[in-house]
Amino acid sequence: MNKNTKKLLALSFMAIFIISTVSVAFLGGGRVATQTEKSTGLTITGTPADNYPDNKRSTFCETGLAKSNKYITEFKIPTACTQPLAITTDTFGNAWFTESNTGNLGKFDLSSKTFQEFTNAQWQKGEKSMMWGLGTAQDGNIWFTDSQHNLVWKFNPADKSYTRFTFPKSSGSEGSFPQMLLIDGKNVYINDFTGKKIGVFTTDHIGPDLGVTSISSAGNYNFTSTMVTDPAGNVWYTVWIYQQGGSLVKYDQKTGDSTQYPLPQEIQAPNGITIDSAGKLWIMDTASSFFFDFDPNNKQFTKHLTSPPPTSSYGNASGLIKTPISRPYWNHFDDKGRLWFNEQVANSLGVYDPSVQSLTEYLVPSKNPNWSDCGTLQDCGVAQVLDFAVDHNKVWFTEWVENNIGVLDSSVALPINVNVSDTAITIHRGQNVTVSLNINPQEQLTSPVSIITSDTAGLHNISTMPQEMQVIVDKSKTVKVTISADNFAITGTYKVLIGARYQDITVSKYITVTLE
């Protein structure tokens, strides 16, 4: 792949998933800073911050100290401007993460609250790369992807050595784009995001190359997203064209056969995919506030949604943002059967409990205003939480533009809980139904609680209207919410989300609405 083509693909990728207006500064190719550049706004610090001019450092490096709240603790990485991205945990509970602005791996020990950063001597000074995939193998070695350089790296914690391997390009393709990484036993799976394949190799392979076996992507699609394996050994992944549809693919590794299931048309950027204990697939749509489950038994998709993003995440100082979205990205189940996901532009981590139809969302303390419509607003922006890992009650995550890692403790009691009077209702066109939201304080609340609503049906089908938008909750409180169907609404089954937002926490319940 020539340099210009590689750059265009990288910019296309970032335009879809982060913010195109600043992607040039990151993906334009690293270079070594020189003293003569001081006159053009580059102060030499001897740190990775030198990869950016002075006026871009607050955008890409950090805007302040690490912050914490009752549920989340952040830790500042000792080296400036490392841009942490992928994160995972090992069997000892340590958190490992990639540093996309240094080429190094970092390790954090929660018990001692200390960092170790392991210098990658093979990394060229001034280079940068989005290093999305990271995993620990059974033998203790750590593998990670390097999309900018078409590489896969192995790190040996015993001798602190790095070994790099070229990730092979597909037949007829100009290059490769290794993105996410899944380790299942001794098998390692990597999606070639723009190369139209899944690459598979074993961790005990010995040789100068990886010995990759390719699973060719089905159909004529631009992107191949991350993958998951089911108990039968099938590989599930998505292929798609941005905003133009795609397919969920099941690949049988024993026979080599693929089965495609067309994705619902409203899925525009299906990134995260995982599987639950019942065999359902769960898919996150990064171009909206939606996530979907797919039941292989009845071949049906069901649409779910997050709450509306808090204003502090997007700002809207210009007044131009009419319908803010959360952009759910990657997803993982915990050992309690709950689905966790990161909401990139809502600056939040969400957890959905399918057993009780509830959603809890935690707002991340740090916020970088350069990535949102903040204007002069204070405490506004997003930290770019682009990856996370679940380890029992702990949820580890990275903040790509704040140079922090963080840990969420899901065992900490929530300040409120909520219940709804009805979990399923039927409504006819032109009619409305009133339901009750019951809010119960679990501690003394020091500020009002906001009522939030959202739905999967859209404005011209269903609307929800709380009796009150803000309430004081010093004891159990009931708020009436009216759900109305438009005279020309499209019949079907939809999800309505009703909940309460208190400071950094949003707690909601789902109601299944059948519109007849």
Q: CA separation (Å) from 477 to 192, 361, 417, 470, 488?
A: 51, 21, 11, 11, 34
Identify whether residues 206 and 58 lie together within a single domain: yes
In sequence order, the 6+-apart residues with CB closer than 8 A to the CB of 47 are 79, 80, 81
Q: Which is it for strands 462-466 and 477-485: parallel, antiparallel or unpaired?
A: antiparallel
Long-range contacts of 193-197 (CB under 8 A, 24+ apart): 193/13, 193/147, 193/223, 193/224, 193/225, 194/9, 194/13, 194/222, 194/223, 194/224, 195/169, 195/170, 195/224, 196/170, 196/221, 196/224, 196/239, 197/170, 197/224
- Amino acid making up residue 13: F
As beta bridge partners, residue 425 has 513
User: SS in 3 state form for 227-290?
Assistant: EEECCCCCEEEEEECCCCCEEEEEECCCCCCEEEEECCCCCCCEEEEEECCCCCEEEEECCCCE
Specify the 3-state DSSP secondary structure of 35. Answer: helix
CA dist., res. 476 & res. 473, Å (int) = 7
Q: Domain ends where: 409, 437, 471?
A: 409
* Token representation of residue 196: 């139209």
Q: Are residues 375 and 449 in the same domain?
A: no
Q: Are residues 309 and 451 in the same domain?
A: no
Residues 245 and 382 in one domain: yes
Which neighbouring-strand residues pair with 153?
Answer: 144, 164
Q: In Å, how far are 159, 248, 373, 449, 508 from 344, measured between CA atoms? A: 36, 23, 15, 24, 19
Residue 419, number of CB atoms within 10 A of its CB = 14
CATH code (residue 480): 2.60.40.10
Tokens of 431: 């009619």
Q: Which residues in 440-469 are b (16+ Cβ under 10 Å) and which e?
A: ebeeebeeebbbbbbbbbeeebbbbebeee
What are the angstrom distances between the C-alpha of 342 and each of 65, 226, 389, 397? Answer: 22, 15, 10, 9
**Residue 388 in contact with residue 397, Cβ under 8 Å?**
yes
Q: Which domain holds residue 275?
A: 48-409
Residue finishing a domain among 409, 439, 464? 409
Report the alpha-carbon distance of residue 71 to residue 389 in Å, rounded.
16
Is the CB of residue 164 less than 8 Å from the CB of residue 177? Answer: no
Provide the whole-model pTM.
Answer: 0.93
Residue 213 and residue 358 share a domain:
yes
Pair (450, 487) in one structural domain: yes
**Structural domain includes residue 39:** no
User: 7 and 119, same structural domain?
Assistant: no
Total number of domains constituting the chain? 3
Q: Is residue 236 part of a domain?
A: yes
- In this structure, the dihedral spanned by the alpha carbons of residues 187, 193, 195 and 197, taken in order and rounded to 10 degrees, is 40
Per-residue pLDDT at 219: 84
- Collapsed DSSP state (helix, strand, coil) of residue 15: helix
* pLDDT attached to residue 495: 97
Question: Are 455 and 403 found together in one domain?
Answer: no
pLDDT tens track for 184-205: 999 999 999 999 999 999 998 7
Asked if residues 114 and 131 have their Cβ atoms less than 8 Å apart, the reply is: no
Torsion sign (Cα): 62, 67, 72, 73: positive
Within this chain, do residues 321 and 176 fall inside the same structural domain, yes or no? Answer: yes
How would you write the pLDDT of the chain (516 residues) with one tens digit per residue? 444 434 433 434 444 443 332 332 233 333 333 333 444 689 999 999 999 999 999 999 999 999 999 999 999 999 999 999 999 999 999 999 999 999 999 999 999 999 999 999 999 999 999 999 999 999 999 999 999 999 999 999 999 999 999 999 877 677 899 999 999 999 999 999 999 999 999 998 778 899 999 999 888 899 999 999 999 999 999 999 998 999 999 999 999 999 999 999 999 999 999 999 999 999 999 999 999 999 999 999 999 999 999 999 999 999 999 999 999 999 999 999 999 999 999 999 999 999 999 999 999 999 999 999 999 999 999 999 999 999 999 999 999 999 999 999 999 999 999 999 999 999 999 999 999 999 999 999 999 999 999 999 987 899 999 999 999 999 999 999 999 999 999 999 999 999 999 999 999 999 999 999
Does some domain include residue 36? no
Q: 398: domain CATH number?
A: 2.130.10.10
**C-alpha to C-alpha distance for 479 and 172, rounded to whole angstroms:** 60
Pairwise CA distance, residues 215 & 200, whole Å: 8
Same domain, 151 and 112: yes
In whole angstroms, give the CA distance from residue 131 to residue 105: 10
Query: Domain for residue 225, yes or no?
Result: yes
Residue 436 lies in a domain: yes
Same-domain check for residues 366 and 296: yes
| Best CA proximity match to 349, nearest among 315, 405, 387 | 387
Q: How far apart are CA 327 and CA 369, in angstroms?
A: 17
**Structural domain includes residue 152:** yes
> Residue 170 falls within a domain, yes or no?
yes
**pLDDT of res. 40:** 62
Q: Which of 409, 436, 465 is the last residue of a domain?
A: 409
- Across the beta sheet with 477-485, the strand order is 416-420, 432-441, 477-485, 462-466
Please write the tens of the pLDDT for every residue from 134-187: 999 999 999 999 999 999 999 999 999 999 999 998 776 778 999 999 999 999
For residue 215, being part of any structural domain is answered with yes
Q: Do 201 and 304 reside in the same domain of the chain?
A: yes
